Amino acid sequence: MFDLGGKAAVVTGAGSGIGAAIARVFAARGAHVAALDVDGAAAERTVYEIRSAGGQAHAFDCDVGAAGAVAAVFERAAATLGGLHILVNNAGIAHVGDIEHTFEEDLDRLFRVNVKGVFLCAQAAIPAMLRQGGGVILNMASIASLIGIPDRFAYSMTKGAVHTMTMSIAVDYMRKGIRCNCICPARVHTPFVDGYLAAQYPGREEEMFRQLSAYQPLGRMGTPEEVAHLALYLCSDEASFITGQAYPIDGGVLVT
Please give the positions annotated as active site.
155
Instruction: Name the nearest CA neighbour of 137 among 150, 151, 157, 120.
Output: 120
* Strand bridging mode 8-12 / 32-37: parallel
Q: Phi and psi at residue 6, in whole multiples of 5°?
A: 80, 0
Cα separation values, 141 from 160, 226, 242, Å:
7, 15, 17
